[in-house]
Amino acid sequence: MNLFEQQAANRRKSRWLVAAFVLFFAWLGFGGDYLAWEMTRYGPPGAYRHAFPWGGVALFAIAAVTVTWIRRTGPDKVLWSAGAYPLPEGRMDENRQLENVVEEMAIAAGVRKPKIYLIDDPDPNAFVTGTDPDHPHLAVTTGLVSMLSRDELQAVVAHELGHVKNLDMQLMTMVAGLAGAIALIADGLGRSMRIGRHRSGGGGRDRGGKLGGLLLVLLVIWLISWILAPLITRMLAMGISRKREYLADAMAAQFTRNPMALADALDRIEKAGAPTKTIKGGVAHLCIADPLGRRVSQKVGFVGDLFATHPPMALRVARLRAMAYQSAKASGDLAPE
């Protein structure tokens, strides 16, 4: 699979994951409306009939307000939570090199040059945040700047600008907003149900006895979906994040035309081994490497696919090296055997 096929495959997988997220969200809202409609449509004259999907509409309204609020304030809160501060204008050699590299890669990627921030942490890491491609913010740790060579630093910056180019910032903000809204609503719904059960004294059992078998099964599935909603939405968000890391890796290889530079950078970041203590869990999915250094991020297969915020670093490095091999093979630069 060449570079552009890799990018197309990653975009396709990301779209499937986003579609799954939207379908699950619709099931939580409009699925409940359907069940309410079925349970009330044969009631006696004058009784309440659930004819309008109030639940689904309310759920999307709450989610929209939450996402809008996060989009307006999210980048500032992300930078603040990580302890990031604007790049000093002291013109130190390291700062000048970082500024030059960011400017070069912004031109190569065809995006606006991001505002640069530093994070005082010896562990190498980086992330990009922002509400739209015209207002990106790039944050890198001081460990990253001091540890990597110029080519490696350029590759990491290209990876982050790949997220800007692919509109990952907006996507992940939206996903985070929806996941947060569902978690809040699930918590509120759970409390309401506990209060309702306490006040009704078990009267709902009679109503349940009148339900058809299929409807009862759907009701149980819907309730279980709400109980597991925070976990499921978080897993979907992590799945989108993993696919986007592969895509950003491929974009970095395209911008720099040097896949080995990013492979070497990721290898050095992985071998640094220490968690990025300054960056907390809420920002983990934005970083080029899991700042918490969790073992699950090194897993391949079912467990890693479900619970890791990042794909295994060894797999990312292997893919980049394969790209470098194919590029060299296509250009005839490989030494004869």
Question: What distances in angstroms separate CA 76 from CA 40, 69, 139, 281, one per listed residue?
Answer: 47, 12, 12, 16
- The answer to whether the CB of 309 falls within 8 A of the CB of 284 is yes
Q: How do 136-141 and 126-130 pair as beta strands?
A: antiparallel
First to last CA, the chain: 23
Q: Is 226 helix (H, G, I), strand (E, B) or coil?
A: helix
Residue 243, both tokens: 């696919």
DSSP 278: T
160 given a catalytic annotation = yes
Burial (CB count within 10 angstroms: exposed 0-12, middle 13-18, buried 19+), residue 167: exposed
What's the distance, CA 319 to chain centroid?
21
Angle at 143 between CA 138 and CA 146, to 5 degrees: 100
- The answer to whether the CB of 260 falls within 8 A of the CB of 106 is no
- The answer to whether the CB of 237 falls within 8 A of the CB of 287 is no
Name the active-site residue from 38, 103, 160, 245: 160
- The answer to whether the CB of 133 falls within 8 A of the CB of 167 is yes
Residue with tokens 């809040």: 184
Q: Name the H helices within 41-132.
A: 54-81, 93-109
Residues forming the active site: 160
